[in-house]
Amino acid sequence: MSEQSRSPYRRQRRGPGPARGGGGGAGAAAERGAPRDPARRVAYDVLRAVDQRDAYANLLLPSLLNERGISGRDAALATELTYGTLRLQGTYDAVMETCVDRTLASVDAEVLPLLRLGAHQLLSTKIPPHAAVSATVDLARRVVGQHRARFANAILRKVSARDLDAWIGVVAPDRAVDPSGYLSVVHSHPRWIVKELARALGERSRTGLVETERLLAAHNERPKVTLVAKPGRATVEDLVAAGAEPTPYSPFGARLPEGDPAAIREVRQGRAAVQDEASQLVALALTRVEVPGGDGLWLDMCAGPGGKAGLLASLAGRGDARLVASEVQPARAGLVAGAVRRAPRDAGRAVAADGTRPAWRPGTFDRVLVDVPCTGLGALRRRPEARWRRTEGSAAELAPLQRDLLRNAVESVRPGGVVAYVTCSPHLDETDAVVRGVLAERGDLTLLRAADLLDEVPGLAAGEEGRYVQFWPHRHGTDAMFLALLRRG
């Protein structure tokens, strides 16, 4: 199946329940009750599901924590172990390659997540080495059996012989000779992603990739949860009163320093939602473009799961506009319906429709947002596993769909109307190449200076003559969201 099926806009698979081990005996009997070490066990189950079944940690981990009644310090530990291991998986794998007397790829699929989990505790936490090894080996006995637990014990003891800095000196290429390879190991990204991010930033290896390294480091920092107060239904002040802090740029945004967003009343009631600040701002930019000749009907063409649609419906409802939020997958269209429900003046409607075969007549809409399926390289802070799922050819596989969706978005807008082309990826083959390709096909499109619509945010302008918007985690504290605005003549 193509990479389209793995886009962040498809219906996510939650993966199975706990993995079954082959321990037998007393270990198997213990598995029938509550796990002795619930934090490590849930982290292992998520890591294995991510690795073997393409589960998404941000969906599966909260589900398992809730299902197993894990909270407080155990939940915090499980979260750190899961995301920390996923973020630095490439670094840990490079270390363990030197500790295993065969290829790491040949290690049993049930055992490899245990080794990574143990390596994270040994190299990146304050857990004492003996405790990290002992707890991980004990978990191994319970889930994979005594024989393979002895193997895990031997490998983790080798890992514990050096700290992370010492291991980097052993396993990373020489920075002066191979800067991309060095950054790939140190910051745990596939080499091809390092190169593509450097290309998007306009850096070359001979410069030392200074800004690229800052971006890679930002991907491995734990992001704060960002909320959006839906206009007309909640305010930033409401969220601040609940313990959040205003975002620096979005007039609708607030960040939670810690805690569960579901504990906030406005979120539970659907008057606020979790949404990255850049996602809020690209939607806002579309609404700021002057559209002569009427402004009554908007379209969100790839609306699932509904974050931008929820904000757009609220903004439409504050004026005289209506929003149609289209999503190809019926289940995700249901999520979109929930996101736009109770917008001011009931301004939002969700429909299940395919943007590549529009169910509406050409020229119907005044404004169109098309947030296309993409590699998701802009959201690696929140979905660290995505870096290991994509391949160097992923962007090329997605490009035909992205061009088709942009073409149909242009056909859907009336003359004088505007289209916002959005990706949660800075990969140039998904951004500049797609936009330039569609511009070259038509003579009735004008590429607007998108950064002028968001002049409160510094350092956004990208592309030829700075006509695109490109957010960056290390510059703006957001996902790496891309925006191009095109007016149809």
Active site residues: 424
Q: Are strands 297-300 and 365-371 parallel, antiparallel or unpaired?
A: parallel
Which tokens is 117 given? 């989990």
Amino acid of residue 151: F
Tell me the CA end-to-end span of the chain in Å, nearest whole number.
Answer: 38
Question: What is the Cα–Cα distance from 439 to 483, expressed in whole angstroms?
Answer: 15
User: In angstroms, what CA-CA distances link 374 with 101, 223, 230, 367, 371?
Assistant: 38, 21, 26, 22, 9
Which tokens is 369 given? 């947002």
What is the DSSP-derived secondary structure letter of residue 392? Answer: T
Question: What is the Cα–Cα distance from 373 to 170, expressed in whole angstroms?
Answer: 39
Question: What is the Cα–Cα distance from 10 to 30, expressed in whole angstroms?
Answer: 38
Question: What is the Cα–Cα distance from 192 to 186, expressed in whole angstroms?
Answer: 14
Q: Is residue 202 classed exposed, middle or buried when 0-12, 13-18 and 19+ CB atoms within 10 A define those classes?
A: exposed
Please, which residues bridge with residue 47 across strands?
Answer: none
Question: What is the Cα–Cα distance from 65 to 81, expressed in whole angstroms?
Answer: 13
CB 298 within 8 A of CB 322: yes
Taking alpha carbons only, the member of 483, 353, 467, 362 closest to residue 430 is 483
> In sequence order, what are the residues at sequence separation of 6 or more whose Cβ sits closer than 8 angstroms to the Cβ of residue 44?
19, 113, 114, 117, 139, 143
CB 315 within 8 A of CB 287: yes
What is the DSSP-derived secondary structure letter of residue 293? Answer: S
**212-232: burial string, b at 16+ Cβ within 10 Å, e else:** bbebbebbbeebbbbbbbbbb
Question: What is the Cα–Cα distance from 297 to 311, expressed in whole angstroms?
Answer: 15
Residue given tokens 């992923």 in the structure block: 394
Which tokens is 11 given? 């219906």
CB 349 within 8 A of CB 340: yes
